[in-house]
Structure 1
Amino acid sequence: MKYPNPLRQGSTIAVTAFSSGIAKEHQPRFDLIKQHLESQGFNVVVGGCLYGQLKHVSAPIEQRLEELMAFLLDDEIDAIYPPWGGELAMELLPLIDFAKLEHVRPKWILGFSDISTIAAVFTSKLRWATGHCSNLMDLVPEATDPLTSNTLNHLATPLGESFSQRASGSYASQWPDIANYPASGISPDTSSNWKWLVKPESGLAVEGRLIGGCWDTLLHLFETEYLDLAALSRDYPEGVLLYLENAEMSPTDVSRTLLSMKFKGVFKHINGLLLGRSAVPEPTDEEALTYYDAIQNGLANIGIPVIYDMDIGHLPPNLTLINGALARVKLDETGTIWQALS
């Protein structure tokens, strides 16, 4: 696994929206975050693909591709941190020159949602470690919950060392009004705990190399050249831990997706499955299929451990998960995840 340099004072973070951009009303929050990063000693380079949301993207595909490749090829850049995700990052994948990137220094690709569509692919194709974590636009000084506030601290972990995180205990049921209150952090208001859907045959932990992200987009990439879990499991005898989070899929969508994953043999290549909280409201009809029904029906008999309701995804806060890191997830009275950059 190829780890980018740890992020620390003097590191350069490039900002480009290779999926959705920010609107004018988000400018005060972005300025606040940029100043906060610079006060911590980071250099921040802002690209031209940042503003706007024309047809779901920040800029035409050619411009987004050119800027992303320029940052990836620039060894003065240490991390690429979009403001947040979006919808159409996937359209960049066939245009990225992965062969050229084989010869450059790895950079962190950071964030969640549609950012993971790119980040997970870079781990699969290039063996670059990448980060699934709080988005750039979450990192205001008032974001004081431990998972969000420690994001950059975890990304400063040196090669060969490790860090751990504990389950949050509560999550925010809605995002703050960042247009009217640019400095606001999340307000966790709902109790939460990690849960076993399927326990291991022995013990209360699962181990393997992490990879994953937004279920809604990665479902289209499984067992393609872009997300080859079979190859990862061959290359890393310690095995693979796949993590996924549902942003918008209905329970029936989840059921179909799980069947598709079975048809493709996804579960044969992983040691365990880690599921984040589902951001989709449950149906009000008592006889309707629920998200829990869908995962229970689809995952109860696949032969691997499954944890759900983890701090991953669109109901924050978010764990910092390093794609490619060796991880151990333990769930007894509470949940703990340990990651080694090895």
Structure 2
Amino acid sequence: MIKYPFLEERTTIGVTAPSSGVPTELHELLKTACSRMETKGYKVIIGDTAWTQDMAKSAPAKKRAEEFNKMMVNDDIHFIIPPWGGELLIETLEYIDFENIQTKWVLGYSDISLLLLAITLKTGIATAHGTNLVDLRGEYSDDTTAMWQPVLSLKKGGSILQRSSEQYQKEWQFDKLTPYVFNFTEKTKWKSISNKSVKIQGRLLGGCIDTIRHLIGTKFGDVHNFKENYIKGESVIWFLENCDLSTTDLRRSLVQMKLSGWFNDCSGIMFGRSPANTPVGNYTVEEVYKELSEELQIPIIYDIDCGHVPPQMTLINGAYAEVESYSGKGEILQYFK
């Protein structure tokens, strides 16, 4: 049975950096984001790792894990959100105290999704794939990003609907930041391999494929055990997004997931928009999706609101979902059951 945290009003947020911290020249971004949270009524406790960055990480692995572990068992902290992602969160996994993980929301994406998926697979506690803290520094959030609060405030037994965005951001324009941080210029269009309407349902699992693929074959990535112990063999909907991979590297990663059994009893896969998916020769990402769909005999939806091309929905690892894609639009109805 999945255990769902609950976001109380005016609760205390713990900010720690299990992957990358914020370098000195960007401290103002973190300060602004924390101030925005305080104006929403939250109290913010910032760990030391959030303020430092050296050698591609906020601090040595043990220090990062120790700070996360302390925030996880601190009864005064009810919700943990890192400033952003990074590269080397995997170094901390052997030091994370999974035995004492509390039923608290952890929210993030990119490299943070490695920790999110590991927590849910090992403990059955739901985790939240969505915005990072620094992207909440605007005067307000766009409608898609803002759903993190209603989703995390949903009580067990409830359900919540999210709809696809109207527009997305193709590229960052740091000299032209909007009141909601992003610059939306492109029309959102969810697509499917079949070019038809798609309906799928199952338990959500996923994250940034660049990083979660490294859980395969470790004790932190036992999907079979999770299915047997926490969702009793129910089908899974994977949501995946690609930060940096070429199409051939993406293909290798997906085949490895398939061979490891991660796609057993999978009812469908959703891929987020990507700034990468670099073609190799004439091998495009659409061909990758098509091959995978044919091999697994499941529907694939792509260019959804998830990942490194904002905005993104808040998707809960472990939640039961009904997903529908039609006429370029999409809906995800999540149940906390």
RMSD of aligned alpha carbons: 2.1
| Partner Cα separation in structure 2 for residue 169 and residue 3 of structure 1 | 29
Count of residues paired in the alignment:
333
Mean alpha-carbon deviation: is it higher for 219-228 or for 208-217? Answer: 219-228
Any idea what SS the aligned residue of 1:271 has? strand
- When the two structures are superposed, what TM-score results if normalisation uses the length of structure 1? 0.91
Instruction: Give the residue type in structure 2 aligned to 1:326.
Output: Y
| Partner Cα separation in structure 1 for residue 218 and residue 202 of structure 2 | 21
Aligned match of 1:230: 224
Aligned match of 2:275: 279
Any idea what SS the aligned residue of 1:267 has? coil
Instruction: Give the residue type in structure 2 aligned to 1:307.
Output: I
Aligned match of 1:140: 137
Residues 246 and 276, structure 1, Cα contact 8 Å, conserved in 2:
yes
What 5-or-longer segments of structure 2 have no aligned partner? none
CA deviation map 1:148-189 (0-9, x unaligned) = 1232232111221111111113210123428x9696610111
Runs of 4+ residues deviating >6 angstroms: none
Residues 66 and 95, structure 2, Cα contact 8 Å, conserved in 1:
no
Instruction: Give the residue type in structure 2 aligned to 1:144.
Output: S
- Residue 53 of structure 1, CA deviation: 2.1
| Partner Cα separation in structure 2 for residue 73 and residue 15 of structure 1 | 14
| Partner Cα separation in structure 1 for residue 140 and residue 255 of structure 2 | 38
Aligned match of 2:54: 54
Instruction: Give the residue type in structure 2 aligned to 1:139.
Output: L
Aligned with residue 332 of structure 2, among 315, 331, 337? 337
Aligned with residue 157 of structure 1, among 154, 157, 164? 154
- Residue 16 of structure 1, CA deviation: 0.5
Aligned with residue 214 of structure 2, among 210, 220, 226? 220
Any idea what SS the aligned residue of 2:84 has? coil
Residues 198 and 299, structure 2, Cα contact 8 Å, conserved in 1:
no
For the pair 1:123 / 2:120, whether they are aligned, the reply is yes
CA deviation map 1:19-48 (0-9, x unaligned) = 001122322222222121111111111011
- Residue 140 of structure 1, CA deviation: 2.3
Aligned match of 2:243: 247
- Residue 90 of structure 1, CA deviation: 0.8
Aligned match of 2:287: 293
| Partner Cα separation in structure 1 for residue 185 and residue 284 of structure 2 | 22
Mean alpha-carbon deviation: is it higher for 252-261 or for 23-32? Answer: 23-32
- Residue 293 of structure 1, CA deviation: 2.1
Aligned match of 2:68: 68
Any idea what SS the aligned residue of 1:66 has? helix
Residues 243, 35 of structure 1: alpha-carbon distance in 2 compared, 3 angstrom cutoff? same
Q: How does 1:295-334 map to 2 (within 5 A)?
A: 295-333=289-327, 334=329
| Partner Cα separation in structure 1 for residue 213 and residue 194 of structure 2 | 21
- Residue 204 of structure 1, CA deviation: 3.1
| Partner Cα separation in structure 2 for residue 238 and residue 248 of structure 1 | 31
What 5-or-longer segments of structure 1 have no aligned partner? none
Question: Sequence identity, in percent?
Answer: 37
Residues 229 and 269, structure 1, Cα contact 8 Å, conserved in 2:
no
Instruction: Give the residue type in structure 2 aligned to 1:246.
Output: N
Any idea what SS the aligned residue of 1:44 has? strand
| Partner Cα separation in structure 1 for residue 180 and residue 39 of structure 2 | 18
| Partner Cα separation in structure 1 for residue 221 and residue 277 of structure 2 | 29
Aligned match of 2:259: 263
Any idea what SS the aligned residue of 1:110 has? strand
Any idea what SS the aligned residue of 2:224 has? helix
For the pair 1:193 / 2:189, whether they are aligned, the reply is yes
Instruction: Give the residue type in structure 1 aligned to 2:188.
Output: S
Residues 215, 64 of structure 1: alpha-carbon distance in 2 compared, 3 angstrom cutoff? same
| Partner Cα separation in structure 2 for residue 140 and residue 296 of structure 1 | 38
| Partner Cα separation in structure 2 for residue 250 and residue 340 of structure 1 | 34
- When the two structures are superposed, what TM-score results if normalisation uses the length of structure 2? 0.92
